Homo-oligomer: A and B are copies of this chain.
Amino acid sequence: MSEKTVSIDIKKDLFGANEEAASKNAEVFKKHGIVAIDIMGSVGTGKTQLIEALCERLSEKYPILMIAGDLATRIDADRVGSHGVDTVQINTGTACHLDARMIRVAIDDTDISKYKVVFIENVGNLICPAGYSLGVGKKVVVVSVTEGPYMIRKHPLTIKRSDMVVINKIDLAEVLDFDVDALERDIREVDANLPVFKVSSKIGTGLDKLIEYLGL
């Protein structure tokens, strides 16, 4: 099992350079038939727990690489690594999002050809990661019933730039008196056709449907 840590010090992000790097990443993923997924969302929405739950169900079927983005620590990579998948932790220092060049560093640092699935957990932030292509097949935004009722209406751009939404921790909806259907309506207001999955990564609700949609 491989557990790497890469520290990144990029002071200036140029969107143009990012798009170019993203295209190169996309070529690499396509060449090797890799399903690559960028998982975005705020702090504490359960992105890591979702990836852990997916790895538990998929790691015997596919060789998986998990790339984790955080300002500091390798807590998330270690959590996912405990399920027997290879991990690269990217420590961004002060950067509030991953970009395509950071993913490029991670790709170059591994034998990418041996993986069939790459889960990328972006930095915990509902805003900035949505602005940067990584070259993945799908950008997923994870929201959670613990975030209060307004996160969709306040962040329509993040929803517009995502390919699908996971509403996580639905097992807590009742105790937090959270209206999941109202949240889904807010998503539909932004994009009527966006796929929405209601999930509890903790107890497993909704994961089979999500895995089927991802083609895994």
A interface with B by C-beta (< 8 Å): 42-44, 46, 70-73, 75-76, 94, 96, 123-128, 131, 144, 146-148, 150-151, 153-157, 172, 175-176
Contacts and interface: CB of A to CB of B under 8 A. Distances in A.
Give chain A's interface secondary structure class.
Answer: loop
A131 B128 CA distance: 15
When all copies of this chain in the complex are counted, the total is: 2
Contacts of A151: 43-44, 124
Given A75-B153, A94-B131, A146-B147, 14 more contacts: A43-B126, A43-B147, A44-B151, A46-B148, A71-B127, A71-B156, A72-B155, A73-B154, A76-B150, A94-B157, A96-B127, A124-B151, A127-B128, A128-B128
A72 B153 contact: yes
A186 to B, nearest CB: 11
B131 A75 contact: no
Given A96-B127, A124-B126, A156 B43 contact: no
Closest 4 pairs (CB-CB, A-B): A44-B147, A146-B146, A44-B148, A96-B127
A157 B53 CA distance: 30
Contacts of A128: 96, 125, 127-128
A168 to B, nearest CB: 11
